[in-house]
Amino acid sequence: MSIKHVHTLNPVTALEFYTAGVEIRLLLAAEGSFLKVFNAENSELISQCEVFHEQTIHGIAVNRGSQESGLELVIWGGNSLILLSRLDFEQILHASVTSTAGRAVKVSDWILDVAIWESCCVLVTAHNALLRASFDKNHRPVIEDLPSPSESILYSAHVVWDTPEQILVAAGTVFGEIIYWRGSVAENGSFGDVQTLFTFTGHEGSIFGVNISPIIVGHGNEQTRLLASCSDDRAIRIWDLAEDAEKKGVGEKSTLRETGFGENERDAGTNFPDERCLAMVMGHASRIWGVKFLVGNSKDLGFPLVNVLSLGEDSTAQQWSLELAEQVDSDVEMGGVEPVLNSGMKHTAKLIHVDTYAFNSGKHIWSSGLVPEGNGIFHIATGGADGKISKYDIKLARKGFSATDAYTQDSEATNEPSDSDVSLSAWDLEEVLNRFSLHGSDNMTTLQPARAEVISDPEPILDSISDENPPKRKKKAKKVHKDAFNRYAFVTTSTFITTTTFGRVLTGQLGVSTIWNEIFLPQSGKDDLRSYSIVEGFPELSTAFLAGDNGNIYSYQPGNLIGQIGKVDGKVADMFKIHDIQANTYCLLVTTLSTKVATLFSVKPMADHTIQYTLPDEFVVTAGGMYNGMLILGSRKGSLAVYHPQNPEQPVCTWNDQRFSSGDSFTTILVLPPPTDIPEKIYILTTGRNGVYSIFSLGFYSSNEGLSGEIHPVHCGTPSFGPMIEAAWFEDGDLILYGFKSKNFVAWNETKQYEITSVDCGGAHRSYAYSALSNSAGAGHFVYTKASKLYIHSQSKPSHEIIKPGGHGREIKTTAISGDKRFIATGAEDTAIRIWQYTEDSNAELSPHFNNLAVVQSHTAGIQHLQWHNSTYLLSSGGNEEFFIWSISTIPSFGIGVICEASCPDPSADQDLRIMSFDVTSCPIHLSPDGQESLLLSLAYSDSTIRCYIYNKFTGYILIGTGNYTSSCLTQITHLDIKNDTVCLLTASTDGRVPIWNLPLIHQFIGEDLDMENSFHPSPPRLEMISTSKIHQNAIKSLDVQTHGGYIFVVTGGDDNALAISIYQSSNMGAKPQIFILRKAHAAAITGISILPSSFSSDSLDIGEGAFRVVSASNDQRVKEWEVSVAVREGDGGLEVRIRNSGDVFTSVADVGDLAVLGGGGGRGDDSVGVGERVLVVGNGMEVWGVGGVF
């Protein structure tokens, strides 16, 4: 076999925690056909093993009470099954075994669930059959059939061992029923009778998930179980499984089976109450794939806590609290979430939404694992279609409080310190001030916070209003003005300062409890902060600055009195912290409402002198930064100005591009550390209220008029949260952002693409302050006002941990490799472009990995094609006639910069076409406008139109030719050659033909009489079709071209499953090519194909024989290598071609979208490590294969 698997980034289809016999907690993850073992504490990948040859893993079961010689693990996928003992697993753990595929066995049907008991396990299959699997005396698996009540077609099942003598099965059918049955086990191990206990109906769609709860202990030590189910109807239902005499058989009153689709017996008018359905609620934005119970007992409450975790297509996991009958209090609002009740159905419980965990991207949470930690805490791991594994803690909750709220309030009620990672407290100013008055002259007090409350609408004043009883007009009471919290700033990372509307100044020191302190302004300025105040914190210096409407600037440090440090003319508009990373100095920038002056005060080192900068017209400062004394200011309208300290009256340079900034204000200016002490240019990172963070390059040079500068944007990022990004900083090399999304405050790790914290604070229009704690990965304290109260949300670590980073959450349709092989670009149906770097170490088995360098989100429709031009340009196309040219550059201390340099030229009025494909090559300099380096572009549209352009960033697009094929949609386009100022093009289409086109490049046409606004020339030349050849029976899905030895080899893959090789003479492209077709090369459409560029065995085919290799990938989930031998016949000079399949492997990437050659070794096994060339296959995931090495 000349193809070897190297690396996988695929959807995570199964997860399970493992603790037996090891000192650390492990997490077992299924990715394709591979089992990966992670250290759950530090996310280290310990080992990986191929479990099946040609089957994706669907489930993992762990025997948590096994003996060393007993059954430890069961792994299944499709109808494949493997049993592992503890010794087997230890060999995998220590990398002694890297493949167990040879030990896998096949069973009679698709396996849906497995339950282990001691040395055997039982399996439920897709037709509700029960099987038993165990080891024989030779440690070989033995499978035996067991009795089952029916052969229904199932979508889901859950099987548990109730006791060693009894098995319980919940089976969810395709037609919306749930069959709950049990089987008995005799003492000798033989299986006896089976009995259907209940058949539940009510869901309006196929049952996607069922889960039988652990035993729940109620009042009087009564034991019972519940069943949770989810369906295509987006409903979660809870069913009572108690087998009491009164309810037994309720679900069996009707022998008819309802399909769950369309009209059923209840819909037709029959009142058929189902007392077994305790609760039902609608959840998620789309289909729900699975549900799991989280059950714990509470000694304080005297009843169990029952929660449900649901996993959805919307890529979220959601927590629900089940309020049982004895817990439901009709006088208490259950968090504002009301269950949806079916007509005629009696529900005796409620499902209350607790929290949503949106830690994956794209679509689908496919897998989850959980393990109880104690104290009502569960460790949860979830894996999605994006390949990411997230781990987080869930606290059991009740009555609408979130998990963290419930834990915090329990702690506060007992006056004990909370060891929770998250806490929320609410403070009323009047209560804080009353406590101060009770302490007399002592202005410091320690208070316990008021409980965080859900703010609801006030009760109506009038019970009823009618014509006979009109409301009496009440005298309007005089409005009483109350003091309220006003502004916040952090003095240190854990101490904040707040002002009130009456001019008070308070500090709060955060810890186990909050220590409040009131501080006072000097007597001469005691009313300066009344009604209006501005505060700015310098936690790095343990200092805060305060200002009011009369221009006085005050400074405060813990342990010292407030003192005045300066004054400005007029009312202070805002204050900004300015940090010069080169000089390591701090300054305070103060702006006023009445003047065009910004005043800079030196803070570290403290100095008396100030610098007053004259601002441009209509320039309202909203952000500032500094490098080596150069002050950089951002404005409310999205413009930048740079000042030299020796010339504060006039900026050195300005920048104002409304197309780029959208006219929204800058909120942060952060100078990136330069690579050298005297850099040629510096880079600044900005954030804005348009949902974008940007990086600009600043270059300075001397001119006749003095120092001048240039500002250019080099990167533009759009995080998934927004639209208001308020601040940015770097922590351990990661870019951290925070801002607001809808009603939530969000802190976000942009480098690793994950959420740090999310707080429902009511939105951006409020006073707030945020302080990141040291060594907390961006988590910290968030202080904000909501409904006149001060809330403090404290979080000591991110909301979740990333065990394994992921990628696209939807199918990848196209991929491209940069010219220098450094970068990989992928485009998917999630409309995102991701730029990756792939690395591997030949000396380390587990070293390969994809490093995500950038995520670009500008497309609004699925991406059709990507292509690099060298490594400086990336081009992309998609639906809605979207076409973008991205400029790629390297940014010191950051990574790569991606900026959109141009978009689609000449879009139609409706923009309803897809740009299916395009090609880009360098335009000859003598044909380029003004002699500038230019690109030659050809675009293929879905309406069979071809448009050709010359582009450079100075002149834009110039249309140089158009053409039309037929009514068939074009699928591929490529440039074959440029000779004698004529471009030769090749296209492919859905009719299976390959036409060849010529386009003359006319000098006069390119340089004269141009309408630069829309790129149109009055009469652009038409492309001339010089030949066309029927190759495939229908659409051509993939294509690659290689020129060699006077011939052009065109390799195509079609929707007809065929692989074709067309050979053209480069000297006569109009001649009919020689076509060689291999029918049934794959069992499905060939969607990716590439010629290995280093595989040609001779420099010329004019003498003797030459050979090359082709790699193809298909929707049949096969990757194949083909050896193509080409010989020139003596006599007539014709060609003979032989195609031999030299490699054929299964890929776990479903819906293969594309294939590309990464590069690598020598390609024929003559490389130094024998790994061959690397080939990337993309679709529902990404896989790297070594092709042609010595394996």
Domain assignment present for residue 594? The answer is: yes
Q: Is 985 in contact with 876 (CB distance < 8 Å)?
A: no
- Same domain, residue pair 703 and 581: yes
Average pLDDT for residues 845-872, to the nearest whole number?
92
Q: Which of the four pLDDT bands, split at 50, 70 and 90, describes residue 272?
A: very low
Q: Which residues contact 135 (CB under 8 A, 6 or more apart)?
A: 71, 83, 85, 119, 141, 142
Domain assignment present for residue 896? The answer is: yes
Rama region for 721: left / alpha / beta (φ>0; ψ in -120 to 50; rest): beta
Q: What is the pLDDT of residues 194-238, one digit of tens each?
A: 899 999 999 999 999 999 999 988 766 778 899 999 999 999 999
- Same domain, residue pair 710 and 581: yes
Task: Measure Cα distances from 16 to 12, 26, 580 in Å.
Answer: 11, 9, 49
Calculate what percentage of the chain has a pLDDT beyond 90: 65
Per-residue pLDDT for 1009 more than 90? no
Per-residue pLDDT for 338 more than 50? no
Per-residue pLDDT for 853 more than 90? yes
Helix (H) or strand (E) holding 544: strand 543-547
Per-residue pLDDT for 90 more than 80? yes
Domain assignment present for residue 859? The answer is: yes
Q: Quick one: which of 433, 558, 441 has its CA closest to 497? A: 558
Domain assignment present for residue 22? The answer is: no
Domain assignment present for residue 250? The answer is: no
Q: Angle at the Cα of 1163 (from 1039 to 1138), degrees rounded to 5?
A: 55
Q: Is 404 helix (H, G, I), strand (E, B) or coil?
A: helix
Q: Quick one: which of 745, 793, 771, 758 has its CA closest to 424? A: 793
Sign of CA dihedral 1009, 1011, 1012, 1015: negative
Q: Which of the four pLDDT bands, split at 50, 70 and 90, describes residue 751?
A: very high
Q: Which of the four pLDDT bands, split at 50, 70 and 90, describes residue 925?
A: confident
Q: Which of the four pLDDT bands, split at 50, 70 and 90, describes residue 930?
A: confident
If you ran DSSP here, which 8-state letter would residue 966 be given? -
Average pLDDT for residues 698-713, to the nearest whole number?
85
Q: Is 980 helix (H, G, I), strand (E, B) or coil?
A: coil
Q: Which of the four pLDDT bands, split at 50, 70 and 90, describes residue 666?
A: very high
Domain assignment present for residue 615? The answer is: yes
CA–CA separation, 226 vs 278, rounded Å?
A: 9
Domain range for 862? 810-904
What per-residue confidence (pLDDT) applies to 273?
Answer: 39
Q: Angle at the Cα of 759 (from 754 to 761), degrees rounded to 5?
A: 145
Is it true that the peptide bond before 723 is cis, omega within 30 degrees of 0?
Answer: yes
Per-residue pLDDT for 604 more than 50? yes
Q: What is the pLDDT of residues 427-463, one digit of tens each?
A: 999 888 887 765 554 555 554 444 443 333 334 333 4
Return the structure tokens found at 63. Answer: 């025997």
Return the structure tokens found at 423. Answer: 């806490």
Return the structure tokens found at 736. Answer: 């951290």
CA–CA separation, 416 vs 422, rounded Å?
A: 15
Per-residue pLDDT for 578 more than 90? yes
Q: What is the 3-state secondary structure (H, E, C) of 70-131?
A: CEEEEEEECCEEEEEEHHHHHHHHCCCCCECHHHCEECCCCEEEEEEECCEEEEEECCCCEE
Q: Is 723 exposed, middle or buried (0-12, 13-18, 19+ CB in 10 A)?
A: middle
- Same domain, residue pair 706 and 588: yes
Q: Which of the four pLDDT bands, split at 50, 70 and 90, describes residue 404?
A: very low
What per-residue confidence (pLDDT) applies to 712?
Answer: 94
- As a residue count, the chain comes to 1191
The domain boundary, picked from 687, 718, 749, lies at: 718
Task: Measure Cα distances from 316 to 286, 754, 761 in Å.
Answer: 10, 14, 21
Q: Which of the four pLDDT bands, split at 50, 70 and 90, describes residue 1105?
A: low
Q: Which of the four pLDDT bands, split at 50, 70 and 90, describes residue 400?
A: very low
Dmax (CA) for the chain in angstroms is 114
Helix (H) or strand (E) holding 1000: strand 993-1000
Q: What is the pLDDT of residues 114-169, one digit of tens each?
A: 999 888 999 999 999 999 999 988 889 999 998 888 889 999 999 999 988 899 99
- Same domain, residue pair 705 and 816: no
In this prediction the pTM is 0.88
Number of structural domains in the chain: 2
Q: Is 901 helix (H, G, I), strand (E, B) or coil?
A: strand
What per-residue confidence (pLDDT) applies to 252?
Answer: 44
What per-residue confidence (pLDDT) applies to 1160?
Answer: 67
**Residue 905 is which amino acid?**
P
Q: Which residues contact 1066 (CB under 8 A, 6 or more apart)?
A: 976, 977, 1043, 1046, 1047, 1048
What per-residue confidence (pLDDT) applies to 843?
Answer: 65
What per-residue confidence (pLDDT) applies to 438?
Answer: 56
Within a 10 A sphere around the Cβ of 704, how many other Cβ atoms?
Answer: 5
- Same domain, residue pair 703 and 845: no
Q: Which residue has better confidence, 477 or 279? A: 279
Within a 10 A sphere around the Cβ of 743, how many other Cβ atoms?
Answer: 11
Q: Is 183 in contact with 171 (CB distance < 8 Å)?
A: no
Q: Is 490 in contact with 480 (CB distance < 8 Å)?
A: no
- In the block, tokens 């319980």 appear at 168
What per-residue confidence (pLDDT) applies to 69?
Answer: 60
What per-residue confidence (pLDDT) applies to 444?
Answer: 55
Q: Which residues contact 537 (CB under 8 A, 6 or more apart)?
A: 489, 490, 491, 496, 497, 543, 544, 545, 577, 769, 771
Q: Which of the four pLDDT bands, split at 50, 70 and 90, describes residue 891?
A: very high
Q: What is the pLDDT of residues 543-554, one digit of tens each?
A: 999 999 899 999
Q: Quick one: which of 556, 511, 549, 552 has its CA closest to 530? A: 549
Q: Is 4 in contact with 1185 (CB distance < 8 Å)?
A: yes
What per-residue confidence (pLDDT) applies to 898?
Answer: 97
- Same domain, residue pair 713 and 815: no
Per-residue pLDDT for 343 more than 50? no
Q: What is the pLDDT of residues 682-693, one digit of tens each?
A: 999 999 998 999
What per-residue confidence (pLDDT) applies to 532?
Answer: 93
The domain boundary, picked from 690, 718, 746, lies at: 718
Neighbour-count burial for 670-699, b at 16+ CB within 10 Å, e otherwise: bbbebeeeebebbbbbbbbbbbbbbbbbbe
Per-residue pLDDT for 1072 more than 50? yes
Q: Is 73 in contact with 61 (CB distance < 8 Å)?
A: yes
Domain assignment present for residue 686? The answer is: yes
CA–CA separation, 641 vs 630, rounded Å?
A: 10
Weakest-pLDDT range from 13-22, 556-565, 578-587: 13-22
Weakest-pLDDT range from 13-27, 239-253, 793-807, 1033-1047: 239-253
Q: Is 875 in contact with 883 (CB distance < 8 Å)?
A: yes
Return the structure tokens found at 503. Answer: 């001019």
List strand residue ranges (DSSP E) for 628-733, in order: 630-635, 640-643, 653-655, 666-671, 681-688, 693-703, 706-717, 724-731
If you ran DSSP here, which 8-state letter would residue 328 be given? -
**Residue 311 is which amino acid?**
L
Q: Which of the four pLDDT bands, split at 50, 70 and 90, describes residue 888?
A: very high
- Same domain, residue pair 572 and 706: yes
Weakest-pLDDT range from 454-463, 739-748, 1059-1068: 454-463
Return the structure tokens found at 680. Answer: 């040629």
Q: What is the pLDDT of residues 523-534, one digit of tens each?
A: 887 889 998 999
CA–CA separation, 1128 vs 1135, rounded Å?
A: 5
How high does pLDDT run on average in the chain? Answer: 85
Give every strand in the sheet of 895-902, ordered side by side. 863-869, 873-878, 883-891, 895-902
Q: Is 901 exposed, middle or buried (0-12, 13-18, 19+ CB in 10 A)?
A: middle
Q: Quick one: which of 744, 714, 749, 712 has its CA closest to 729? A: 749
The domain boundary, picked from 679, 699, 718, lies at: 718
- Supply the CATH number for residue 714's domain: 2.130.10.10
Per-residue pLDDT for 398 more than 80? no
Domain assignment present for residue 799? The answer is: no
Q: Which residues contact 987 (CB under 8 A, 6 or more apart)?
A: 940, 946, 965, 970, 972, 973, 994, 995, 997
DSSP codes, 754-815 = EEEEEEE-S-SSS-EEEEEPTTTTT-EEEEEEETTEEEEEEESS-SSEEEE----SS-EEEE
Relative to beta strand 863-869, strand 621-627 is unpaired
CA–CA separation, 1075 vs 1092, rounded Å?
A: 20
Weakest-pLDDT range from 70-74, 386-390, 666-670: 70-74
Is it true that the peptide bond before 605 is cis, omega within 30 degrees of 0?
Answer: yes
Average pLDDT for residues 476-497, to the nearest whole number?
87
Q: Is 721 helix (H, G, I), strand (E, B) or coil?
A: coil
Average pLDDT for residues 607-623, to the nearest whole number?
92
If you ran DSSP here, which 8-state letter would residue 450 be given? B
What per-residue confidence (pLDDT) applies to 7?
Answer: 93
Per-residue pLDDT for 650 more than 60? yes
CA–CA separation, 1052 vs 1073, rounded Å?
A: 14
- Same domain, residue pair 573 and 680: yes
Average pLDDT for residues 346-351, to the nearest whole number?
76
Residue 604 phi/psi, 5-degree rounding, is -135, 110
Per-residue pLDDT for 951 more than 60? yes
